[in-house]
Amino acid sequence: DLARWLVTNQPISLAINAPRPLGFKLGQELFEKTAQVVYTVGSTNDPKAPPALTCQARPQEAEVFGEFPPRKSLDLYTKYPVVVPSSTPAYDSSYQAEYLKSLTSADLEGAGGDLDEARAAIDAVQDGAVRGYCVELMNYLSNATETNPKRGFGSDRTAIWGLQRPPLLDGCLTSIRCDTNVSYDDLLPVFLPFYATNARDQVELSVDSNDQGLLAALKGIEADKSVAIKIEHSDEHAKRMVDVASHYYNVINVSAGGLNEFPMAGQFISLYFPLGHIKSTMVDDEDFIDHFKKSAKWLRVR
């Protein structure tokens, strides 16, 4: 259907035009089931909300814009998705290991009962720099989603923007593959943003049957109680990813040895999670705000 086509081909933007309030219902369904960067909702029956005839954005008014290849093939085309506005130097910047080693789970920001799960997961990391990087990722997520979505400040239309979950499309998961010799430290920076947010039920771990150390570590933090873990060899996983390709939004292969560097948190998160904005063509459209801010698509820390 249309949503699966949009996920597979990943055009940058989508315009939805329909009579109000039907346009809100249609717009929400497409917004939640896809991962475009720019969504524009217009009407065909209200002169105050003219049809959306273009799919452009005004970054200067907090209409976040970006260019994302299809998620499964992102690393074939770019190191990180380009997001506007963003800090250009951030794309070639990284954290110093010495700084990261100074951080512990005591430096986690934010509140919530389930933050204890994130803390336990981070405390199980052996390498100090990796542990500190996971703290940075969690603090970034807590800060970025404390108010999510955020409201833009356009002069003649109404936008909200923020980090989002992967598409809420039936059977559309992210598979994280761990071959033999992938350690818990290698996995956690990629796994934690899913495990600690409302995207937890959208991720699946595929672990080699010979990687008993990783399986034991995941059991130690009780991840096996809330996340699907498939124990299989690499050829079995590869075949499954072909046979049921449409059921997977993304396939992430974790490298043994972990990260070669520690990129800025915003760039790292953009590798795995959608972001951008959705807007109404009507100025000060409070009905639009009230409807779309409640969407389950917006990313939240558990």
Kindly report the backbone phi and psi dihedral angles of residue 276, in degrees, each rounded to the nearest multiple of 5, phi listed first. Answer: 140, -150
pLDDT digits (tens, 9 = 90+) for 118-176: 999 999 999 999 999 999 999 999 999 999 999 999 889 999 999 999 999 987 899 99
46 in Cβ contact with 282 (< 8 Å)? yes
| pLDDT bucket at 111, cuts 50 / 70 / 90 | low
pLDDT digits (tens, 9 = 90+) for 218-264: 999 999 999 999 999 999 999 999 999 888 999 999 999 999 999 99
Ordered by start, the domain boundaries in the chain are 2-292
